[in-house]
Each structure stands twice: as C-alpha cells, then as structure tokens.
Amino acid sequence: MELLKVENLTKSFGGLLAIHKLSFIVKEGEILGLIGPNGAGKTTLFNLISGALKPDKGRIFFGDAKISGLRPHKICKMGISRTFQDVKVFPNMTVVENIALAATFARERIPTNEAQRLATDLLRFCGLIEVKNMLARDLSLVNQKRLEVARALATQPKLILLDEMMAGLNPTETLDAMRLVKAIRDRGCTVFIVEHVLRAIMNLCDRVMVLHYGEKIAEGTPEEVCSNPKVIEVYLGEKYAQN
C-alpha cells in the first residue's frame, strides 16, 4: 500500500532546478533509500515533503491527504517527521527536554505521565539513557544524531525522513545506527533514508531511488541500482574512486 505519493514535483532556486518533475511513491512499512551526488536535491526533497519548502509545481499526498503547501507543524501532526543533515538539536535544553518538547507535536495528544514514559522508552531505544540530563550542546556527534532520531520519533510518526544520520560516524557507531534504523521500521514506522554510506543502503533498504540534478535516474532493489551503468557513472564511480 502506498503511504506517500509524489507527483511531478518541481522546485527551483533562482535559475537552479533542484527538483525536476519528480514522481515516486513510498510504500507503507518499507525502508526506501535515496542516494545521489552532493547537490542532487536530496535534502531539498525532504524539505518539500516536510513542508519547510513549498513546491513550484507538483503535488504530494500522504495517504489520501494532499500535504504539499501545508505548514511543517501540520505535516508533522499528520505523521511525518524528519532529522536534519546539519544537526539542529536545541543546544541549551537537556536531552530529555528536547524529546519532551517534540512529544507536544505528536500525532495524538498524550497525557503528561504517558509522555514521560514515551520519553524514557525513546532514551533507551536510541541509546541515550546515560546522557539524558546533559545539555544537547555538550553531546558528542553520535549522540546528537541519536537525539535527532529520538526527537523525530517522539512525534509518533508513520513516516520518518532520515537525512545522512551516519555521516561522520565511526564504523561501530555506523553499525549501531543501522540497527536503530531496522528497529524503527520494526516498530511500524516507514523509513525514507538519505545516506552516502553504501554498506548501510545495501543492508537496510528494500528499494533505492537515485537522484541526479533533481531527476530520478534509477529506482529498484539495492542490487539493481548498484549495477545500473548510469548510477555507476554519475555516483558510484566517484564513490569507489574515493575509497
């Protein structure tokens, strides 16, 4: 069943076409990967879905509801939340306060004692129990990334958009992050993930979509996409050369 449907989406910044006539769906319960070179439009797409940006053309549906053009807090309440590539935790609040604040934007209003239980559950789920009373600004990068995820989950999303949550993590932290993504899906939340860590994309994703200059150039299983000559030419070739 389709959870999100994007139709003919277009967004430009001045003369630059960041997203061009893009159409695709996200299926309920899947982990969909999004890859492509820097500047391909991946973060812009997440900004369009979450309502941070408005499309120039095209429409986005979440279930039966048209969400393109709605404000971000409305979209969040409907069940879509996201993390930020450039981490945006609230620096002067503690970890647990960051999570509790997000819970007030939850899909369904929950009583205070339940919000506390949810926060504790998320601290444990995301590996943040030991740092729960630290100010967010004092956290290590990996814990800031975990907090971004915990905060997004506190809104009880049906769909979570994860933007390069593994960038800058060491191999052990990356493995932990991969386990976390799987566990998020196992909780019943659909995952749409932008990631340059290919091992994660290959291991986690049911399907992968490839963007290049705002256009979809390939879509399929991780194996199909990674053996696609066009994808190797514009993205993987460059990545393999780096390694």
Ligand X SMILES: Nc1ncnc2c1ncn2[C@@H]1O[C@H](COP(=O)(O)OP(=O)(O)O)[C@@H](O)[C@H]1O
The residues binding ligand X (CB under 6 A) are 13, 16, 18, 36, 38-44
Return d(Cα 146, Cα 127) in angstroms, integer.
Answer: 7
User: Shortest distance, CB of residue 43 to Mg ion, whole angstroms?
Assistant: 3
Pick one of ligand X, Mg ion, none as the site partner of residue 207 (Cβ within 5 to 8 A by kind). none
**With respect to ligand X, which residue has the nearer C-beta, 22 or 102?**
22
Pick one of Mg ion, ligand X, none as the site partner of residue 129 (Cβ within 5 to 8 A by kind). none
**With respect to ligand X, which residue has the nearer C-beta, 33 or 36?**
36
Return d(Cα 131, Cα 135) in angstroms, integer.
Answer: 9
User: Shortest distance, CB of residue 86 to Mg ion, whole angstroms?
Assistant: 9
**With respect to ligand X, which residue has the nearer C-beta, 45 or 100?**
45
Query: Interface residues with Mg ion (CB under 5 A)?
Result: 42-43, 85
User: Shortest distance, CB of residue 98 to ligand X, whole angstroms?
Assistant: 24
Is 79 within 8 Å of 161 (Cβ atoms)?
A: no
Return d(Cα 11, Cα 229) in angstroms, integer.
Answer: 27
In the block, which residue shows the tokens 């290590």?
A: 140
**With respect to ligand X, which residue has the nearer C-beta, 71 or 179?**
71
User: Shortest distance, CB of residue 242 to ligand X, whole angstroms?
Assistant: 16
Pick one of Mg ion, ligand X, none as the site partner of residue 94 (Cβ within 5 to 8 A by kind). none
User: Shortest distance, CB of residue 234 to ligand X, whole angstroms?
Assistant: 12
Alpha helices in the chain (DSSP H): 42-50, 72-78, 95-103, 112-125, 141-154, 171-186, 198-204, 222-226, 229-231, 237-242
The sheet with strand 207-212 has its strands ordered as 80-82, 159-163, 190-194, 31-35, 207-212, 215-220
